Amino acid sequence: MKTEVAILHKEYPETVRDLAVSKIEHLIRYFDGTVSIRAVLERQKEEHRVELVANVRQGVVLVVDAKETTVGAALDEAVDRMRRVLRRHKDKIKDKRKGRGK
């Protein structure tokens, strides 16, 4: 899986990038069909915004966004949301294979 972390406005230390990469790499456990995940970290006034974009098989793109007062909390929230989205996508694929999907 390919991971990329983009930091806008260059206000974060290198440890934040390393933390983001380590948290993103754990997402592969929830859906092995993930091709790549891109994280965008940005500071907007008093809030930190984290956007995760996951490209999965068959060209599906999954996007989550989180805003919190600290970058760590925003990253945790975004990773948690992406985990739920990946699980939901995986369950949808399983249901379609068994003929129960739409």
3-state SS, the chain, equals CEEEEEECCCCCCHHHHHHHHHHHHHHHHCCCCEEEEEEEEEEECCEEEEEEEEEEHHHCEEEEEEEECCHHHHHHHHHHHHHHHHHHHHHHHHHHHCCCCC
The per-residue pLDDT for 48 is: 94
The per-residue pLDDT for 88 is: 93
> Under CATH, which number does the domain 2-96 receive?
3.30.160.100
The per-residue pLDDT for 98 is: 72
The span from the CA of 41 to the CA of 10, in Å, is: 9
The per-residue pLDDT for 93 is: 86
Residues of the chain with pLDDT under 50: none
